[in-house]
Amino acid sequence: MKEQFAAYPVETATVLGVTGGNGLEHIGTDKFRRVYGIDINADYLRAVTQRYTQLSGVLKCLHIDLINEAEKLPQAQLLIANLLIEYIGYGAFQRAVFQTAPEYVSCVIQINTDEEQWVSESPYLRAFDRLDEVHHQMEEKALTAAMNDIGYSLILKETYPLPNGKALVRLDFKKNEG
C-alpha cells in the first residue's frame, strides 16, 4: 500500500475493504486531504479509527455494503482495492469504481493455479470452509476487460509470487481521456 499511496498525484483516496487497517500507516498527511476507509464490518471500522488516531481529520471510515450500497460511496481521485474483488465480484467492483469516479484505480488480486484449493494449507483451513460461497476466482485478463468496459486502461502490472502456485498481482488502471 505504501507504493499505491505514493504512485499518483492525488489528494483523495478510497480504500475498499479496509478491514483492520494494515497499510494505512503509509498515508502521508502532507499529501492527502481525505482518505476514506470503506468496510461492511462496523467493528473493523471502529478498530481502524482507534488504531489511527494520528490520521483524524484525514481518514474517514464509512460503513458501506459494496454489493448493495455502492451509491453511498464518496468520490475520490484514487481507489485502492486489495484482495477484495474476489469477494464482491467484477460487477460490484465496476459499480464501486463508477460511483467513486477515480482517475486511478490500484488493486491487488490473488491468482491461483490450484483450482481445487484457493486457500493455502494451514491448521486453520476449516475456518475458511464457507468462504467459497462468496469467493470469485480472479483472472487478470477478465479484470482488465471489466475495467476497459467502464473506461479504464491498464497502466501497471506487477506480480509477486507466493508459495503453493499462487501469486499476488497488482494491476493499476487510469481513466481514459474524454
Return the residue matching grid coordinates 474524454: 178
Q: What is the number of alpha carbons within 13 Å of residue 151 lying toward its C-beta?
A: 10
The separation between the first and the last C-alpha atoms of the chain, rounded to the nearest angstrom, is: 29
What are 7-52's pLDDT values in tens digits?
A: 999 999 999 999 999 999 999 999 999 999 999 999 999 999 999 9
Distance CA 120, CA 101 (A): 35
Cα separation, 37 vs 164, in Å, equals 31
**pTM of the predicted structure, to 2 decimals:** 0.87
Measuring CA to CA, which residue among 27, 21, 22 is closest to residue 46? 21
